[in-house]
Amino acid sequence: MLEIKNFSKTYKGGKRAVSDLNLSVEAGDLYGFIGHNGAGKTTTLKAVVGIMDFEEGDILIDGKSIKKDPMFCKSVTAYIPDNPDLYEHLSGIEYLNFIADVFGVPAKEKESRIAKYADLFEITGSLGSLIGSYSHGMKQKAALIGALIHEPKLLVLDEPFVGLDPKAALDLKNIMRNLCEKGSAIFFSTHVLEVAEKLCNKVAIIKNGELVANGEIKEVLGNESLEDVFMEVTEYES
């Protein structure tokens, strides 16, 4: 579903954010992407979803290159950044209808999915209000509904649990599991190691722009906790 091949990103000024990254996320994978702040997680995620240009390597989504066929790749992908920037002059329902229409979701499915997720995240009563009046947590919930509304094949999330209340975080975990059971793939960054350890079937650890561990979580962990493994592979600064 997602193939990252020899991906590197160097910013103006010569700072190399990611170096020769290779990673494969298959249908059904719930793949956690872990690293310290500045390790290259967000840079990688932005390149995957086509909002950051890169010169070295390639990224394939469902067999198509994000460079050569960005419209197809974006049509089967949903992305939630760590700080969603929504259309604050729209109401919640206007925003969700707009997103659904962009992805061509039929009217019946659109209505039922909005109702389902708005009830689940307990924001139904606020859908008529302007997004500009929402709290950070409510904006996060609206962004999640917008991402789920077209049932993406690939869901990419950057620190998705930040700002969510405990119930919403639990609901999101269940949604993520259900999507993967239906054949979607999820690639997400998190600094909450316990969540990644319990939720993911695969993890990757990035340090200073380079992959230092990745694979099936049982193989990566062995008899240790994810926290122990993370501290071991990131302990010494290069």
Q: What is the pLDDT of residues 181-212, one digit of tens each?
A: 999 999 999 988 988 999 999 999 999 999 99
Same domain, 124 and 197: no
Going along 81-218, which residue ranges are E strands? 154-158, 185-189, 202-207, 210-216
Average pLDDT of the residues in 124-142: 93
Q: Is the per-residue pLDDT at 106 higher than 60? A: yes
pLDDT of residue 170: 92
pLDDT of residue 104: 94
- 82 band by pLDDT with thresholds 50, 70 and 90: confident
Q: Which domain holds residue 105?
A: 85-151
Same domain, 184 and 213: yes
- 236 band by pLDDT with thresholds 50, 70 and 90: low
Same domain, 123 and 230: no
Q: Is the per-residue pLDDT at 31 higher than 60? A: yes
Same domain, 66 and 114: no
132 contacts 89 by C-beta, under 8 angstroms: yes
pLDDT of residue 90: 96
CB count within 10 Å of CB 134 equals 18
Separation of alpha carbons 198 and 206, rounded Å: 19
Among 151, 172, 206, which residue terminates a domain? 151
Separation of alpha carbons 146 and 112, rounded Å: 13
What is the model's pTM?
0.91
Among 117, 151, 185, which residue terminates a domain? 151
Mean pLDDT score of the chain? 92
pLDDT in tens, 161-182: 887 889 989 999 999 999 999 9
pLDDT of residue 136: 87
**Coil/strand/helix, residue 187:** strand
pLDDT in tens, 87-105: 999 999 999 999 999 999 9
pLDDT of residue 177: 95
Same domain, 141 and 158: no
Q: Which CATH number belongs to the domain containing residue 39 in this structure?
A: 3.40.50.300
Same domain, 181 and 230: yes
What whole-number percentage of the chain has pLDDT above 90? 76
Same domain, 174 and 214: yes
Average pLDDT of the residues in 23-40: 93
Which helix (H) or strand (E) element contains residue 48?
Answer: helix 41-48
Among 103, 129, 151, which residue terminates a domain? 151
What whole-number percentage of the chain has pLDDT above 70? 99
Candidate from 70-74, 176-180, 183-187, 234-238 with smallest mean pLDDT? 234-238
Q: Is the per-residue pLDDT at 238 higher than 90? A: no
